[in-house]
Amino acid sequence: MRPDLVALPPYRPGRAAVPGATAHKLSSNELPYGPLPSVERALVDLLGSVNRYPDFAATALVARLAAKHGVDPASVVLGAGSVEVVSQLVRALAGPGDEVVFAWRSFEAYPLLVSGAGATPVAVPLAPGWRHDLDAMAASITPRTRLVLVCTPNNPTGGVVAHDGLVAFLDRVPGDVVVLVDEAYVEFVTDPDAARGADLFAAHPNVVVARTFSKAYGLAGLRVGYALAPGALARAMRPLAVPFGVTALAQAAAVASLDAEAELAARIAPVLAERARVVDALRGAGYEVADTQANFVWLPLGDRADAVAEQLAADGVLVRPFAGAGVRVSVGTREAGDALLMSLDRSAGGVPRGRVVTAGNDE
């Protein structure tokens, strides 16, 4: 075995519900709704032909994504989830002796993907307010740096990078260093000043954008995501994909979802309303809550993170703790939000006990 792999910690997925138990799964930033009827039909139509390999080039989906973003189809790279696209990108650019810069805390897959490629992760601490410290990230670029990963909104802390700030950052990044804008949660962003990855992709030859159907599109179980990448880089990434990794079902569901953008947008609105309600209620109860533009909230509970997550789990609310740092709670249904707020209000172990948050009766 490669000795550097022996020491790698495993990826820790969000906690799954115990079969049979009722639980609100707020641990993986999934949408709380099942597939749209049109998406379900597209899936059912394909069930009889799963003996066939999928379209290797995913022609229909690539064409739809190219049209959606106004880019050349040669710039669209698909993966089995956008995490696989990020994996392709990291390995296309970085190997032993190379460095990949990213904020920390950020998406847990980053250090694993970088180390898995044999490259060196360079984790730059977030600034106060759980923001990317773009100055410190720019200063950490060395001649060995091949790639910078910018997650906006940032998982698990929820804040965005400002568009202007990212433009200024790009002006400081050498042209031969690629900057990935990971926009897994971009559909939940309402801040008009937030970074717009597709605009940056159009204006900067060293920008790559990653998007996914797992979060706002509600297709996490199918595994499909994509990158917009300059043609030459896209060509270098594709051979690193798992062959046929994006299944025919995933391709068809993604196309059907792109046909139903308006219906999907209508399902995001209640998530945004619930996000605002949960943030207000938590702050009203005395919790520190990071500003969020994603479908989750970050509670910087420090050493209490694991204990609070356990208490919530006992009450049937599954969240994602990060030991010693905080708890990430996905925004789900109003019912799930009520269960969360009531459980926190009941336990309040060492947390200032605030007013009682009552369960709403609408929706």
Ligand X SMILES: *Cc1c(COP(=O)(O)O)cnc(C)c1O
The residue ranges that bind ligand X (CB under 6 A) are 81-83, 107, 151, 155, 182, 184, 212, 214-215, 220, 225
Least distance (Å) between residue 132 CB and ligand X: 13
Least distance (Å) between residue 81 CB and ligand X: 2
Least distance (Å) between residue 150 CB and ligand X: 10
CB 226 within 8 A of CB 258: no
Least distance (Å) between residue 342 CB and ligand X: 27
Considering beta carbons, is residue 182 or 345 the nearer one to ligand X?
Answer: 182
Least distance (Å) between residue 130 CB and ligand X: 14
Angle (CA) 245 251 255, round 5°: 155
Considering beta carbons, is residue 188 or 287 the nearer one to ligand X?
Answer: 188
Pair type for strands 207-212 and 225-228: antiparallel
Look at the block and give the residue holding tokens 């994909």.
241
Considering beta carbons, is residue 247 or 343 the nearer one to ligand X?
Answer: 247
Least distance (Å) between residue 225 CB and ligand X: 4
Considering beta carbons, is residue 113 or 344 the nearer one to ligand X?
Answer: 113
Least distance (Å) between residue 241 CB and ligand X: 13
Instruction: State the DSSP string of 159-226.
Output: ---BHHHHHHHHHHS-TTSEEEEE-TTGGG---TTB--HHHHHHH-TTEEEEEESSSTT--TTT--EE
Considering beta carbons, is residue 107 or 130 the nearer one to ligand X?
Answer: 107
Residue nearest to ligand X (CB): 81
CA distance 232 to 211: 19
CA distance 40 to 98: 44
Q: Convert 180-216 to b/e letters by CB count within 10 Å (16 or more is b).
A: bbbbbbbbbbeeeebbbbbebbeebebbbbbbbbbbb
Considering beta carbons, is residue 285 or 329 the nearer one to ligand X?
Answer: 329
Considering beta carbons, is residue 25 or 304 the nearer one to ligand X?
Answer: 25
